[in-house]
Amino acid sequence: MNAQTPITVLIVEDETLVRMHGVDILEEAGFQVIEAASADDALVLLRSHNEIGLLFSDIDMPGSMNGLELARVVHAQWPRMRLLLTSGHHNLTESSIPDDGEFVGKPWTEGKLIAMVQAVMAA
Amino acid sequence: MSDASDLVPPGAAAPAQSGLIDDLEDLFENAPCGYLATDKDGRIVRANQTFARWTGYEAAALTGRRFSDLLSIGGKLFYETHFAPMLHIQGSFNEVALELLTEDGRKLPFLVNAIERRDARGHPSFIRFTLFMAVERRSYERELVVERDEAKAAVKAEQAESELREQFIAVLGHDLRNPLASIASGVRILQKENLGDRARKVLSLMDGSVVRASGLIDNVLDFARGRLGGGINLTRNTREPLVPVLEQVVSELRSIAPERLVECNFAISGPVDCDPARIGQLLSNLLGNALTHGAKDVPVRIEAWADESRFLLSVANGGAPISEAARGRLFEPFYRGDGPSDTPGLGLGLHIAAEIARAHGGALEARSDANETCFTFTMPLGSSDV
């Protein structure tokens, strides 16, 4: 991780206000943030933005796949991508997330979310 | 069928009635039941008048016929395969329901008793049958069966409906979380803006409302899940320190009731083997209860400590004690106290708190006197079976 090039996070969240809040927290902490409202949008963005280093995705989303499935697809296609999943309903253990992925529960608090992002990036 | 005149043959009544009392011939012929005597093979030797009248035959015409020929097809089958063999083995066979065919082809239900008489060498010599008409009994039985089936169907329908209702609650609760999360995020975003005092106050009140609503949703979801057979599932986590979780809950509820004093005394150093989010929910429910029901001018005291063997969390408030009667029902779902009926809430908070305690292998207890009301959660720690 070079201090000069900030890490780019792709946030995938279907609830607009929740996504805006996540973007606020991450940008304030110095990350570059790209937004997607669905798994399908996320895959399109991932193909065109190879600077993305972390997929931060909600699990419960409408559309062709949920966050967990998205994480599996992304892990298969971009094995070096770091993964952080989030949900207000599920309480996942890391074992169900591919590779070294982590889980953070909703609602996010700034401190905890940033700590989790940093932990995943340092892993 | 039970008409008494059925039993009295016409013309047998009027003259010298008293003379009939001990007349055994009359007792045989006009008894309130049918009598049949057959040879050892079931061929009728004699039938009484009552039987002849019930079945519509001439008594004399019955002589020489086989008893089994008077039975319906089902009755005949049962007679040949069960009745006759059992009678032969046991010497008697009682209270058997059989259908007989009347002279004009109607089926008539009977209860039949039979004995087989044997000669000195033990060979069967003849059979005696007693037959009781059982039309009403059969219709009672049928009614009972119908009613039982109806009751079963009603119970089943009720179960299906209540399951549907609980599924509905579960889905509703689940779906309400999304818009609520949006409102919560909106509040957080706005709180970072440069706002006036009034706007800040509105946002902090909105924040409190979100906390209250999500607490209600959590409890309703847990309740519905419990009813649907899921129960409270725990994600135990010793890595996550418990105190910040408890502090977060307290600060959230303080935002709902900023005028109230809440004193905390946390003495937890090591890890606690529990589901921190669930313990947070338990505290949230107990503290919510204390803020709602406790005296407004007495601080609510929260204590939490853990040693190697035990974790304890208690919430105490002042105010009127809980009555003896109410204390027994505190942890029942939808119980909202014996006070005025305008008590807010669903009455699920304490119930869910007790369920969370149970899921942790611990217990939630209530103590209440004139000084204070105190709910205490204790759970064992460190034992190998946890």
| DSSP letters for B32-66 | SSEEEEEETTSBEEEE-HHHHHHHT--HHHHTTSB
Specify the pLDDT at position B221: 83
Question: Which chain B residues are Cβ-neighbours of A91 within 8 angstroms?
Answer: 235, 277
Q: Are B45 and B126 in contact (CB under 8 A)?
A: yes
Q: Are B26 and B20 in contact (CB under 8 A)?
A: yes
| Last residue of one domain, picked from the residues B133, B162, B177 | B133
**What amino acid occupies position A116?**
M
Both B259 and B326 in one domain: the answer is yes
Both B123 and B142 in one domain: the answer is no
**CATH code, domain carrying B47:** 3.30.450.20
Residue of A45, B181, A64 lying closest to A55 (CA atoms): A45
Residue A91 touches partner B, C-beta closer than 8 Å: yes
B384: pLDDT strictly greater than 50:
no
Number of domains making up chain B: 3
What is the residue range of B280's domain? 232-386
Both B253 and B361 in one domain: the answer is yes
Both B9 and B127 in one domain: the answer is yes
Structure confidence by residue, pLDDT tens digits, B261-303? 999 999 998 789 999 889 999 999 999 999 988 999 999 999 9
Determine the number of helices (DSSP H) and then strands (DSSP E) in chain A: 4, 5
Mean pLDDT by 10 residues, chain A (123 residues): 75 94 95 95 94 94 89 92 86 66 86 91 85
Both B338 and B224 in one domain: the answer is no
Both B243 and B376 in one domain: the answer is yes
What ipTM does the predicted assembly reach? 0.83
Both B280 and B368 in one domain: the answer is yes
CATH architecture of A8-122: 3-Layer(aba) Sandwich (3.40)
| Last residue of one domain, picked from the residues B79, B102, B133 | B133
- Answer whether A15 sits within 8 Å of B181, measured CB to CB: yes
Both B239 and B165 in one domain: the answer is no
Both B312 and B356 in one domain: the answer is yes
Best residue of B176, B188, B217 to probe chain A, by most A CBs closer than 10 Å: B188
The tokens describing A21, both together, are: 């809040």
Both B222 and B237 in one domain: the answer is no
Indicate the helix (H) or strand (E) that contains B366. Answer: strand B363-368
**CATH code, domain carrying B274:** 3.30.565.10
* Highest mean pLDDT (candidates A34-38, B74-78, B344-348): A34-38
Residue B178 touches partner A, C-beta closer than 8 Å: yes
The tokens describing A102, both together, are: 């982590």
Within 10 Å of residue B145's Cβ, how many Cβ atoms?
10
Q: Mean pLDDT, chain B, as a whole number?
A: 86
Nearest to B192 among A16, A24, A91 (CB): A24
**CATH code, domain carrying B219:** 1.10.287.130
Both B98 and B119 in one domain: the answer is yes
Both B354 and B300 in one domain: the answer is yes
